[in-house]
């Protein structure tokens, strides 16, 4: 009888427990969310947490609705509200952002309203104007062109050139917006009658642009023809302007050129056809030994040199090369041997690379001035210039400049070890816009550094120069 009583008691206890479990209902609690914050938050910025809990297990969070749509998102597990679209957090468009969050445990849901009040923040405003000016062509480097006008209602502005044509023509002070000439050679009416650019003005993440227009006026320039240089330098192998010269012109075309330094002299005569040199004789005397080089030059319909042949009377010398153009690359095809060579030209027909077998030389220019040559053996020559006119650079000499360049290629006169010893063949003297004031040869057997000082006439041409080594002076004379 006692056994039945115990069993009855256990059954009653089990039934009582099951009844308690069945009567324990899942409950979810939450609270409405309100916050005030500044407009224009950062992307993914945290806003705050929706409070939610349950008497059994965990709750999940889900956006039921929001206005405007997609303004914020929510982490389903933590209830963290996050900025989704910063453009919706703009006081002028939506001063209050609202929404409803569903907090759930299984099929039990509660809802929390979201109210985000935006505080009006003063927006950054930039005002600017386009910049336009008209000036004479050929301004001086670092000449002030003017200031890009711009203001802001708060903070500081910065200025940056994001586009200009031609490149590197002008610069801008990033704090003041002051524009300056950076490369006077690009302010040339004949090649760039209008210099243009775009300047970006920034304040934080806010920016504006100003269009830059610099109109150039054509200035009738006075050109002087260099007729002679009288040099008394006892050290004259590094710049051709250190040597004696006598140049003659006929009917506006170069006719003859005599060049002498030390025991070496060159007497050159030219035959031209429509301002193109078709025959070039060069009579060389070196310590009493003479050699007469006779060059014949042919051109195509674009006035490009296609063939150079020359013989050396008295020095047993004969070469003939055909010249082939492949884009910016010019190939020199040896018609007698296999000493083929090649160069690469820039847009101004200046040599930027010379290559012969495994040997190569690279050339760097700034404002038409040759500023560096470096070869594959590690040798280097650097040049610095004044801001005055190079008297060797004339329309009458530019064709001769290219012929001289091509002859140098054919004869292989670009070896860095010889550069400076053969100045007329290597330092771009017929094309440089300005005059050499410093020359440095390094990583070669005969390293040297030379500085030059000039006096100039009222037309910005040199009238004499001295160097800081050796003795003497070079005097320039003009027609």
d(CA 444, CA 205): 52
Residue 72 domain-assigned (yes or no): yes
Measured from the Cβ of residue 72, the count of other Cβ atoms closer than 10 Å reads: 21
Measured from the Cβ of residue 16, the count of other Cβ atoms closer than 10 Å reads: 9
Query: 3-state SS of the chain: helix, strand, coil percent to 5?
Result: 10, 50, 40
Cα Rg for the chain, rounded, in angstroms?
41
Of 187, 217, 247, which one is at a domain's C-terminal end?
217
- N- to C-terminal Cα separation, the chain: 147
d(CA 298, CA 244): 30
Residue 17 domain-assigned (yes or no): no
Of 119, 149, 166, which one is at a domain's C-terminal end?
119
My answer on whether 401 and 351 are in the same domain is yes
* Number of residues in the chain: 479
Q: What is the pLDDT of residue 132?
A: 97
Q: What is the pLDDT of residue 441?
A: 84
My answer on whether 82 and 170 are in the same domain is no
My answer on whether 231 and 316 are in the same domain is yes
Q: What is the pLDDT of residue 188?
A: 86
Residue 249 domain-assigned (yes or no): yes
My answer on whether 91 and 130 are in the same domain is no
Residue with structure tokens 């070869």?
375
My answer on whether 202 and 247 are in the same domain is no
d(CA 471, CA 278): 39
Residue 9 domain-assigned (yes or no): no
Of 175, 195, 217, which one is at a domain's C-terminal end?
217
My answer on whether 165 and 256 are in the same domain is no
Total domains, the chain: 3
Q: What is the pLDDT of residue 423?
A: 44
Residue 1 domain-assigned (yes or no): no
My answer on whether 147 and 180 are in the same domain is yes
My answer on whether 245 and 299 are in the same domain is yes
My answer on whether 342 and 391 are in the same domain is yes
179 in Cβ contact with 195 (< 8 Å): no
Residue 11 domain-assigned (yes or no): no
Question: Residue 193 maps to which CATH number?
Answer: 2.60.40.60
pLDDT, mean of each 10-residue run, the chain (479 residues): 52 50 79 94 95 94 96 96 95 95 95 96 90 93 95 95 94 97 87 95 94 93 83 71 82 79 76 84 77 86 86 72 92 89 90 90 91 89 91 79 84 61 61 90 82 91 89 89
My answer on whether 157 and 200 are in the same domain is yes
Residue 13 domain-assigned (yes or no): no
Q: What is the pLDDT of residue 3?
A: 54
pTM value > 0.85: no
My answer on whether 235 and 292 are in the same domain is yes
My answer on whether 355 and 437 are in the same domain is yes
Structural domain including 113 reads 25-119
Q: What is the pLDDT of residue 292?
A: 83
d(CA 149, CA 5): 103
Residue 332 domain-assigned (yes or no): yes
């Amino acid at each position: 009888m006692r056994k039945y009583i115990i069993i009855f008691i256990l059954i009653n206890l089990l039934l009582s427990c099951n009844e308690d479990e069945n009567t324990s209902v899942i409950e979810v609690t939450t609270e409405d969310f309100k916050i005030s914050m500044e407009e224009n938050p950062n992307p993914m910025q945290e806003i705050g947490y929706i409070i939610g809990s349950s008497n059994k297990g965990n709750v999940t969070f889900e956006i039921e609705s929001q206005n405007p749509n997609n303004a914020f998102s929510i982490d389903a597990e933590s209830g963290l509200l996050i900025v989704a679209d910063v453009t919706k957090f703009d006081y002028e468009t939506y001063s209050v952002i609202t929404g409803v969050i569903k907090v759930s445990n299984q099929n039990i849901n509660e809802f929390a309203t979201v109210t985000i009040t935006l505080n009006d923040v003063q927006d950054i405003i930039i005002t600017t104007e386009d910049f336009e000016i008209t000036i004479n062509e050929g301004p001086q480097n670092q000449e002030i062109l003017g200031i890009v006008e711009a203001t802001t209602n708060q903070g500081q502005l910065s200025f940056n050139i994001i586009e200009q044509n031609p490149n590197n023509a002008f610069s801008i002070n990033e704090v003041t917006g002051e524009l300056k000439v950076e490369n006077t050679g690009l302010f040339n009416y004949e090649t760039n009658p209008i210099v243009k650019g775009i300047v970006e003005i920034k304040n934080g993440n806010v920016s504006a642009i100003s269009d830059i227009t610099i109109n150039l006026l054509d200035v009738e320039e006075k050109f002087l023809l260099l007729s002679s240089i009288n040099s008394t330098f006892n050290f004259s192998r590094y710049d051709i302007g250190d040597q004696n010269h006598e140049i003659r012109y006929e009917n506006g075309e170069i006719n003859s050129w005599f060049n002498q330094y030390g025991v070496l002299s060159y007497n050159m005569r030219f035959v031209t056809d429509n301002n193109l040199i078709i025959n070039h004789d060069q009579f060389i005397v070196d310590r009493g030994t003479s050699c007469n080089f006779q060059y014949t030059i042919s051109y195509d319909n674009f006035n490009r040199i296609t063939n150079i042949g020359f013989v050396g009377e008295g020095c047993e010398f004969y070469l003939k090369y055909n010249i082939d153009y492949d884009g910016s690359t010019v190939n020199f095809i040896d018609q007698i041997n296999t000493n083929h060579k090649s160069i690469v030209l820039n847009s101004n027909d200046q040599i930027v690379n010379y290559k012969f077998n495994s040997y190569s030389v690279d050339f760097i220019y700034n404002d038409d001035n040759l500023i560096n040559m470096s070869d594959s053996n590690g040798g280097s020559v650097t040049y610095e210039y004044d801001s005055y006119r190079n008297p060797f650079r004339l329309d009458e000499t530019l064709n001769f400049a290219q012929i001289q360049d091509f002859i140098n290629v054919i004869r292989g006169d670009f070896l860095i070890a010889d550069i400076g010893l053969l100045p007329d063949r290597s330092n771009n003297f017929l094309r440089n816009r300005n005059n050499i004031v410093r020359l440095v040869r390094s990583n070669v057997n005969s390293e040297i550094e030379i500085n030059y000082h000039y006096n100039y006439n009222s037309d910005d041409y040199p009238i004499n120069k001295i160097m800081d080594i050796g003795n003497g002076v070079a005097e320039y004379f003009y027609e």
